[in-house]
Amino acid sequence: MKILGIETSCDETAAAVVEDSRILSDVIASQIDIHAKYGGVVPELASREHLKKLNLITEECLANAGLGFRDIDGIAVTSNPGLEGSLLVGLTAARTLSYILKVPLAEVDHLESHLFASAFTGIGKPPGLGLVVSGGHTRLVHIREWGRYEVLGDTRDDAAGECFDKVASVLGLPYPGGPSVEKAALSGSRGAYRFPVSDLGGSYDFSYSGLKTAVLYKIKYDLQGKLDGKTVCDIAAAFQEAALKPLVDNTLRAASECGAGWIFVCGGVAASGRLRELFGERAGKNVFFPDKRLCTDNAAMVAACGEFYLQRR
């Protein structure tokens, strides 16, 4: 089945065509430039951007695959969670196309779609373990089989990616925070500062609020707001270690306790080179990541998730 996937849940307008877990075309109109100005996602601005871009993106996506609308066998679209106005743009387009083309529609969950980015990695069959870690989510999921999940852990306060964004803004580093902190950290010393690594006992949950506050406090009071280039890099390096460690610790502990055959790490933070390194050091080839381009929101993962549900019907 050739599935057209549509994603507008947050800051990306994206369309993709997937067939048998192969990407025929994948177009993302990154809105990073618009949002960089505002230091984050601006919802109605985003929804207006989605509206402006979605038709163009969809047409370009089909043209890239050498396909027309009539070649599409099914539609998949992100229905939740996300910004209401933004979701509505994608949903309306998808429902309209499904109606006009008389093809089935799958309205899929955004977090489940992230897990389906694994369809392009040659990962084995479940049971496995999924870690979705992004600006809005930090969730550890036991994938018993596709479509059957158990949430093992979630953030108790802030998402990991949000913590990177907020710490970056205090360090004067650009949005998005993950890549800019990682870049600064390369010139810093991880041991220069000691920040608290969240430890929630036997739970698989995460917490990033305390780490955020500790970094802010360090800068505002201990350093009296004086940040030179070296200090920024050192704080970035020490913070990054403290932020990534619980992700690796909880995931590996859960993997061994549930006997998961593999681990799949996805979402924007999964693009982190340092996170990949840490997982690689400790879990080797049992850990899978999407291509960096498929870590952040994209429509290929939406189409893959939709393909699974439409084929099961």
Partner 1 sequence: MLKTVNSIDETMAVGKELAGLLRREKLNIFLTGGLGAGKTTLIKGIGEGLGIKDRVQSPSFQLVRKYGAPGPGSLTHIDLYRLKDAREILELGWWDLLEEEGVTAVEWADRAREILPDGAVFLSIRMLSETSREIEYEKK
174 binds partner 1 (CB under 8 A): no
Q: Which stretch binds partner 1 (CB under 8 A): 13-21, 164-172, 273-281, 305-313?
A: 164-172
Q: Which helix (H) or strand (E) covers residue 299, if one does?
A: none
Rank residues 3 and 10 by Cβ distance to partner 1 and give the closer one: 10
Phi, psi at residue 256, to the nearest 5°?
-75, -35
Distance, in Å, from the CA atom of 259 to the CA atom of 128, rounded to the nearest integer, reads 8
Could you tell me which of 96, 110, 77 has the C-alpha nearest to residue 3?
A: 77
Rank residues 9 and 240 by Cβ distance to partner 1 and give the closer one: 9
Q: What is the 3-state secondary structure (H, E, C) of 243-287?
A: HHHHHHHHHHHHHHHHCCCCEEEECHHHHCHHHHHHHHHHHHHHE
Residue span 38-77 as binding mask against partner 1, x where in contact by CB under 8 A, dash where not: xxxxxxxx--------------------------------
Residue span 275-304 as binding mask against partner 1, x where in contact by CB under 8 A, dash where not: ------------------------------
Which of 53, 114, 166, 274 touches partner 1 (CB under 8 A)? 166
- We find the least distance from the C-beta atom of residue 159 to partner 1, in angstroms, to be 6
- We find the least distance from the C-beta atom of residue 157 to partner 1, in angstroms, to be 6
Residue span 239-258 as binding mask against partner 1, x where in contact by CB under 8 A, dash where not: --------------------
The full DSSP string for 195-259 is -PPP--TT---B--HHHHHHHHHIIIIISTT---HHHHHHHHHHHHHHHHHHHHHHHHHHHHHHT
Distance, in Å, from the CA atom of 201 to the CA atom of 192, rounded to the nearest integer, reads 26
Q: Is the peptide bond before 43 cis (omega within 30 degrees of 0)?
A: no
Could you tell me which of 70, 83, 92, 69 has the C-alpha nearest to residue 6?
A: 92
Which of 82, 177, 188, 290 touches partner 1 (CB under 8 A)? 82
168 binds partner 1 (CB under 8 A): no
Q: Is the peptide bond before 176 cis (omega within 30 degrees of 0)?
A: yes
Rank residues 220 and 293 by Cβ distance to partner 1 and give the closer one: 220
Rank residues 17 and 41 by Cβ distance to partner 1 and give the closer one: 41
Residues 118-157 that bind partner 1 (CB under 8 A): 135-136, 154-157
Could you tell me which of 75, 71, 31 has the C-alpha nearest to residue 53?
A: 31
Residues that bind partner 1 (CB under 8 A): 10, 38-45, 81-85, 135-136, 154-159, 161-162, 165-166, 170, 209-210, 212-214, 216-217, 220-221
